Amino acid sequence: MNPIYHALDFGITCIDTQYMRNDFVAAYLIEDQEHVAFVDTGCYLSVPTLLATLDEKNIQREQVGYIILTHIHLDHAGGAGELIRHLPNAKVYVHEYGVNHLIDPSKLRAGVIGVYGELFFKQFLGDLIPIAKEKIVIAKDKDEITLGNRILKFINTPGHARHHVCIWDEKSQGIFSGDTLGVSYREFDTEQGVLIFPPTTPVQFDPDVWKNTIQQLMTLQPKYAYLTHFNRIEFTKKSADMLIHNINNFVEIAIKMQHQPNRHKAIKTALLDYLLEIASKHGVTTEEIKQIKVFKGDLEICAQGLGVWLDKESCAKIPNK
């Protein structure tokens, strides 16, 4: 297998896990003084790519000490159980709310199959392998781990999901952000910079908590965000403001559509119209059919998450911006 990866500076490599399509889901490899960590893994089917990347970079599997999961959604963590089988010295670090799901992933499996069907699970995710309890370490807020000569610090970051953590890397002044700092695809980069929008995934999307989390992360004054979707971007106050603005507008769309006869379809259609509009304003000139193809990977799950959030809110009101 020929892995696809992007060598960044500070000993960091962005690996394309090749989930669903290229340039969609990343895992990161951090190297420091011959010590190695993975941040996120992609799904079970991504593991051969991760291992091939180690081989390509002449990294021994025994050198990997950490598999760090930002959260347990399967595009981020579905491969952890299979990956650790090949890494004898590694431990898996995860938020405490994710531990039991790694030990017994049956509920995660059932949830995905219930929404997408068994064919989707087998074709795009492959499998879920349990992880032994003694291989798992709880990543607590403000905990730190040492990797060579660098310190990686865990930060609880709810909003996208309650079981989400980010990792602050002082050396690169960057945040390994999972989904907390949004998604941003390189197809939409323009002279105006990057386009960022929120993955409003079920079942724990909480817009107010998420916006507070973003504000707290900005106190670190990060230079970079290492996004799972996709690759490293410069992350500034402008980036944070754009993400918060789009969280507000996603919520506003959901509230406006909450009483439509086919609510899910109405939200999904309105989200696509909104994303195409902001892409146009951002200066994206790619033909619309190609834009839709890129947005398609997020539309269904974003609409579902907004629907779950509406069901939790008794009288959802448009938020103050």
Q: How do residues 240-298 score in pLDDT, each as one tens digit?
A: 999 999 999 999 999 999 999 999 999 999 999 999 999 999 999 999 999 999 999 89
Model confidence at 116, pLDDT cuts 50, 70, 90, reads confident
Strand partners of residue 232: 226
- Contact of 297 with 303, CB cutoff 8 Å: no
**Tell me, what's the pLDDT at 318?**
60
Is residue 321 predicted with pLDDT exceeding 60?
A: no
Q: Given a cut of 90, is residue 226 above it in pLDDT?
A: yes
Share of the chain above pLDDT 70, in %: 98
State the average pLDDT for the chain.
95
pLDDT by residue (tens digit) across 138-159? 999 999 999 999 999 999 999 9
The confidence score (pLDDT) of residue 314 equals 61
What is the rounded distance in angstroms from the CA atom of residue 254 to the CA atom of residue 176?
29
- The confidence band for 115, taking pLDDT boundaries of 50, 70 and 90, is confident
CATH architecture designation of domain 4-171: 4-Layer Sandwich (3.60)
Asked if pLDDT for residue 320 goes beyond 60, the answer is: no
Residues forming a β-bridge with 118: none
Mean pLDDT of 105-126: 89
Give Cα separations from 175 to 40, 103, 221 (angstroms).
13, 27, 10
> Based on the number of CB atoms within 10 Å of its own CB, is 289 exposed (0-12), middle (13-18) or buried (19 or more)?
exposed
> Is the model's pLDDT at 86 over the cut of 60?
yes
Range from 38-52, 108-122, 258-272 carrying the lowest mean pLDDT: 108-122
The domains of the chain are located at 4-171, 239-312
The predicted pLDDT at position 315 comes to 55
